Structure 1
Amino acid sequence: MLEFGWRKKEKSYTALIWLMFLSVLAGPFATAPVQAQEAVSNIHWLKADVPPIGISSGPLAGKGVHGGIVKALLGHEAGPGMVEGHANIARLFSLIKSGNYCVPGLIKTSEREEFVYFTDHPTAVLDTSHLVYAASNKKLRDKIDENVSLRQLLGDGFVVGVGAGISYGDGIDEIIQSYEGESVVIRHPTPNFIEPILSMIEMERVDFSLAPPWAITWLLLNEKLKPRDAKMPKVITHPFREASTKTNYHVACTKNDWGRQAVALLDEKLTRADVQQALDRNARVWMSVKNAQEHLLD
C-alpha cells in the first residue's frame, strides 16, 4: 500500500511539473494575439486626400473608404488622435518620411515602394474605368453588351471624351492614342475632366467617357453634376473588355523597421475572413449612388 501511495504521488508531481512547463511554454503564444492587437491599435494613420479613399471637403468630408478600412482592421473606431488630417500625395509622402505612420489605402506602384512598405493583401478593391454614357443614347446603348470593346466602339465612329494627361491604364492608353487622328477622341484640357466631359455627353458632343463608377458616385453626391434643365440624361456606367477588372488599394507604412513590423501585423489581420467581409462591405458602398446615399448621407 505504501509503495502504491508513493507511485500515485509521484505521478501527481510529474503531471504538475508538465502542466507548469506547458503553461510557461504557452504563455508568450497565448498573449501574442493580444499584443498584436495592441500594436495595431497604436498605429498612427494618415488620410490620403484622394477620393474615394479620403475626402476632405463637401458633404462627404470624412466619409471616405479609409474610415471603414481602419475600423475593419482595428475592430472598432480609431482612438482620439490616432488619425491625422487629410494630405495630398506629395504632402502624404513627406509626412510618412518624418515619422512612423501608415496610410489605409494607396495604389501600390514600384515608384512608391521606394518610400513605403505595402501590405501584400489589399484593403479596398474598386472597379476600374467603365464606359460612361447617357441612357438616351440609343445608338450607343444598342452596342453595349457583356463583351463590349473600346477599340470596336472607336472603330465604329463613336466619340470618347477623355482628360488630357490622364492615364487609363496599359492597353487603354494605346487604343486611345491610335485613334487620336480620326476625330473620335476629344481631350478636355484640365485634369478635373469628369464633370465637363459629362456635360459634353449631355450636349451630345461626345458619346461616352471613361471613369470608375466611384468617381461618378462622388460627383453626384457632391452635387457637382447639376442639370441645367429637366432633360439631363441619366448616366450609365458599364465595364468594357480592355479594362483591367479591379484596382487594389493597400496599406502603406513608413519604410523602416517599425513599418516592416506594422505591415506584417496588418497582413496577418487581412487574412481573416471577418476582416475581409468588412472590407468588401466598405468598398461596395461606393459602387452605386444608391448604396452611397443609404450609407453615407445623413
Structure 2
Amino acid sequence: MIKRPASKFKHDKFKHCWQRDTRESNMLFLMKQRKRGSCNLTQALVSFILVVYGIGSQAQERVIWHTADFAPYFIQDGPYKGQGIADRRLQLVIAGLPQFDHQVISGVTPARSNSEVVQKDNLCFVARIRTKAREQIMAFTEQPIIHTLSNGLITTRNRAASLTPYLNKEGALSLREFLLRSPYRLGLTPGRSFGPGIDEVLNQVRPIRPQGMVEVEADNHFRSRLLKLLYQDGYQAILGYPEELDYFTELLSLRGEELVYLPITEEPPLVAGHVACSKSDLGRRVVQAVDQLISQASFRQKVQDAYRHWLDPASLARYNRLLNRQSAQ
C-alpha cells in the first residue's frame, strides 16, 4: 500500500496520481490506479514519463562553430594556441551567448565549411566576409563585428620592383591589371573570400586569363604558401592580410625586407567582418543575439583590442588612421 502525503496534493486535480522517485514504484502505482479507476491512465502515463525521464525541461540548442587553420586568426598549435585574433573573438561571443550550447570544431577547410553550412541548421562562423554569394546560404549579423585591414598582394621585394606600372600614387596595386598584364601567377586558396572587390576581379578575370591564377591545396595554409612563394616557382604572388604576413615572417624567422604587402585598389582599405550562421531559424536567432552584443561598446572594444594585439607597429598606425578617418565620415 503506497502512502500518499495528503498535504502536498491537497489542491491537486490529480491528487491520486502523484509520482514516486523510482521507476518501479511508479509503474506499480499506475497499475493499482488503473484497477481502482481513480485517475485517467493517459494522464498518469504522461506525468510518469515527464517525471522519470525529465522530459519537459527545455534543453539548450546546440550551436556548432567552425574554425580554420588560419593563423594568426585561429592558432591551432604552438605557444599561442587558442590566442589568435578570431580565437579571442569567438571566446567573447560564446561568453555573451550563454543561452546556447556551443561546440567548436577546429581545423575545418573553407570548402568543407561552405558545403556543410547548407546541410546543417546550426553551423556558425565568427569571421566571415559578407558577399552576395554567401548571403544565399548564410544569415549574417546586420552590423560588422569588426573592421580589419583588407587583403593585399604579397610578393618578394625583387618581384615587386617590376610591378610599378600597376601601382597608383599611393602605392596600391590594381589587381585587374596585374592579372591581365603581368607575367606572374597568383596562388589562391579554394573557398576563401578575399573581400567583395577582390572576389569580383578574380571572377571577371578567371575566364579571360585563367593561366594567371593557380589554386593550391585546400589544406595548404599560409605558411606553406609563403615558403613556396619564396623558394619555388609555382606562383609568384599570393593574397593575404598584413597580420598574416607579419606573424609568419616572425614565426619562420624570415627577413621582413624580403617580402612586400601591397594594398589593392579594387578593395576598400578596411573590410567588414561579420558573424554568419546557417540560413535557418536557429541561425537567424544566433546572429540576432550577436547583433545585440555588437551594440555594446565594451564588447566592440574587446574585439578590436584582440585584433590590435597582433598588428605590427606600421600596420597598427595605418589601422588606427583608417578607423579615425572612417569615424569622421
Deviation (angstroms), 1:198: 4.0
Distance 1:129 1:92 in 2: 20
Deviation at 1:267, TM superposition (A): 1.0
1:133-144 equivalent positions in 2, closer than 5 A: 133-137=155-159, 139-140=161-162, 144=167
State the aligned residue count: 243
Tell me the residue number matched to 2:238: 209
Q: Report if the CA contact (8 A) 1:43-1:102 is conserved.
A: no
1:190 paired residue number: 217
RMSD across aligned C-alpha pairs, in angstroms? 4.7
Structure 2 residue corresponding to 1:163, chosen from 169, 174, 188: 188
2:200 alignment partner, SS class: coil
Letter in 2 for 1:117: A
Give the secondary structure class of the aligned counterpart of 2:264: coil
Residue matched to 1:174:
204
Deviations 1:174-203 (A, max 9, x none): 34654456xxx3636534375565446535
Q: Note the C-alpha offset of 1:69.
A: 1.9
- Which structure 2 segments of 5+ residues have no match? 1-60, 193-197, 317-329
Q: CA offset at residue 239 of structure 1?
A: 0.4
Find the aligned partners of 1:104 and 1:165 in 2 and give their Cα distance.
19
Structure 2 letter corresponding to 1:132: I
Structure 1: 5+ residue stretches without partners: 1-41, 293-298
Structure number with the bigger relative contact order (C-alpha 8 A, sep ≥ 6) is 1
Is the CA contact 2:122–2:282 (under 8 Å) kept in the aligned structure 1? yes
Match of 1:283 among 289, 303, 307: 307
Match of 1:248 among 269, 272, 275: 272
Matched residue, 1:104: 126
Larger Rg: 2
Residue identity matched to 2:217: T
Alpha-carbon distance in structure 1 between the residues aligned to 2:124 and 2:156: 40
Contact 1:162 1:193 in 2 (8 A): no
Please report how far the alpha carbon of residue 120 of structure 1 lies from its aligned counterpart in structure 2 after TM superposition: 1.0
1:57 paired to 2:74: no
| Offset of residue 152 of structure 1 | 3.9
Once the two structures are TM-superposed, the CA of residue 130 in structure 1 deviates from its matched residue by 0.9
Offset of residue 266 of structure 1: 2.1
The match for 1:129 is 151
Q: Secondary structure at the match of 1:133?
A: strand
SS in 2 for 1:241: coil
SS of residue paired to 1:84: strand
State the distance in 2 between where 1:46 and 1:160 align.
Answer: 34
> Among 68, 71, 79, which residue is 2:88 paired with?
68
CA distance in 2, matches of 1:92, 1:259: 15
Distance across 1 between alignment mates of 2:95 and 2:115: 27
Aligned letter for 2:305?
A: R
Quick one: which of 77, 84, 100 aligns to 2:104?
84
- How far does residue 172 in structure 1 lie from its aligned partner after superposition? 3.3
- Give the share of equivalent positions with the same residue, in percent: 17
- Structure-2 separation of matches of 1:54 and 1:272: 24
* Structure 1 residue 170 displacement after superposition: 0.8
Q: Structure 1, residues 83-106: CA drift from partner, whole Å, max 9, x if none?
A: 534262647975997786654333
TM-score, scaled to structure 1: 0.58
Structure 1 segment 6-45 matched on structure 2, within 5 A? none
Contact 2:175/2:201 (8 A) holds in 1: no
Q: Structure 1 residues 232 and 76 mapped into 2: Cα distance closer, same or farther (>3 Å)?
A: closer
Q: Give the conservation status (yes or no) of the 8 Å contact 2:206–2:213.
A: no
SS at 1:275 equivalent: helix
Q: 1:94-143 CA distances to partner (integer Å, 9 max, x unpaired)?
A: 59977866543334456655665321112243334312122345733755
TM-aligned CA deviation for residue 169 of structure 1: 0.7
Do the aligned residues in 1 keep the contact of 2:188 with 2:238 (CA within 8 Å)? no
Change (3 A) 1:92 1:56: farther
